[in-house]
Structure 1
């Protein structure tokens, strides 16, 4: 049943029950099995009917389907264009400026083949225009490297550019 029909059906059912209850006294049903039987029948039928109405969720499902369709259409209006693989995006390249803060030798410091651990942090300095740009782009962080190559050396206090590009 549709919404208004359900309301009127329930109102009519309540009115019928009110009439049966009012008539039970003059008809002598007030203390009889007939009244109990009518009340029991009414309770069972109304409970089953109510459960059937509650289980009938077609209207709700239809509404949800319409809402989902509208949302999909709205997303389509604001969605980014599909990824066109024929137009490659340029590779991301980021350059950062780091300062070597410390070096730790992992063995004998006089041995050139001893591995070293370096700690570098981004430049945080606004005294020059270049450093101010790097400070704004990479205000904090830390880079730790363990190096075994005797030719690769970083000096504490020295600044270094670090370039990040995607690897294939």
Structure 2
């Protein structure tokens, strides 16, 4: 065992805690059907609740992790296919085009639920509907259960959750 330069080794080890940067993480609260419904009832904008699938039209913008921006910027097009919610349930068949805007908080971005049914909250805008996604999914409930759907339609029937 060779310890020719113990002082150099000790000096180098003193800097080890400063060489690794802190790991950043984003902690999101668990999204429940009731929480999402209450959140949207309190917003000043009008939202429509829908259950179905989203299919992208064309290419999804690419996120640049260096600039923290999408290229190209701005909303992109998609198609919704499923059912809109009414007090009687998710029983109004619907298929329409919509705009999607994926929002980010630093390197964490909201994601559009493609490939599997989800409950989504669509903002009513002058030219149709807008799905805004956020890092903590406040507009999307992925893989909802039958109970989730019952809770959401119950909130519509009562006018509150």
TM-score, with structure 1 as normaliser: 0.28
Larger Cα-atom Rg = 1
More helix by share: 1
Kindly indicate whether structure 1 or structure 2 has the higher relative contact order, using CA contacts under 8 Å at least 6 residues apart. Answer: 2
Q: Which structure carries more strand by proportion? A: 2
